[in-house]
Amino acid sequence: MRGSRVSIVVVLLSTATLAGQTPEALPQALAQMIETERAFAARALVIGWKQAFIEYFAPDALGFEQGHVGLARDQLAKAPDPPPDLQLKWEPRFGDISGSGDLGYLTGPVQNVRASRDGGKPRYSNYTSVWKRQRDGSFKVVMDIGINTPGPVSFAPGFTRAPQANRFTGDYDDTTPPLGAADGLLNAEIRRDQARAYRPNLTTSARLHRPSTMPIVGDKRILQWLATQPAFATADTRYTEAARSGDLGYSWGTYSTKGARGATTGGFYVRVWVRERNGQWKLALDVLQPQ
């Protein structure tokens, strides 16, 4: 949560403008989702990270802890209280929401500082959260995952909506596979060759988040990096969910890789998908969390 092995978060409210996108220029649902995350920030500063997370996570939200999947609220309730000198600062800087306004995602930088650790030198990470509208109209987090990074992660000032000029609107003969099939096909292909598997599946502005690595942004840079990586040993879809409008969804599952000496490592992945007008699902964001 909020970092590959960080589950303690204090959030700093962003007072920046929306980088040329005024709140009125964003879809109302996206602006609401962003403001909900900022309200989450304020709440965390008042009552502490643990209770705030329990309040802002959906009852069925899942978390990944020590190689196991469980209800995030239960995991949070069992987590130790944060050290009193711990400060973490995080804010949404990039993301999008479905046309139906019921499902979206946000990502941004995290800074972890403890005065009693490393002389107060900060540690950095990058989070990704999937938000879902609840029956009462509010937004809650249903999936939260992050990576540790070697330095601060840069974003454009304010908030940027993920570009998608060719957005699916449902006005075509639906003969393409559902999201689960797209995720499963990618998993089958990355067991052979990662770059070849991802090439037809990336949006031009896609983000690839890998542990202890700076986020890789843009399809060309992602493919260059993937060409240096070995194939996965296993990759299996565990769950997929799409918005009512069918233009945005997410998936999660398990994976394993083999190192140079045959050692196997593994963990969980979370992917955010967007659907183009021709019905094809494309990757907007892909995160690995090793266990």
Q: pLDDT per residue over 52-91, tens digit each?
A: 889 999 999 999 987 889 999 999 999 888 777 777 788 9
Report residue 86 as tokens.
């711990």
**pLDDT for position 12:** 34
* Cβ proximity of 18 and 33 under 8 Å: no
Distance (Å, whole) CA 81 – CA 77: 9
pLDDT of 171-224, one tens digit each? 655 556 799 999 999 999 999 999 999 999 999 999 999 999 999 999 999 999
Q: What's the pLDDT at 103?
A: 98
Percent residues over pLDDT 90 in the chain = 67
Gyration radius from the chain CA atoms: 18
Q: Are 274 and 247 in contact (CB under 8 A)?
A: yes
Percent of the chain having pLDDT more than 70? Answer: 88
Say whether pLDDT at 291 is over 80.
Answer: yes
Tell me the average pLDDT across 218-247.
Answer: 96
Model pLDDT, residue 187: 97
Specify whether the CB–CB gap between 146 and 127 falls below 8 A: yes
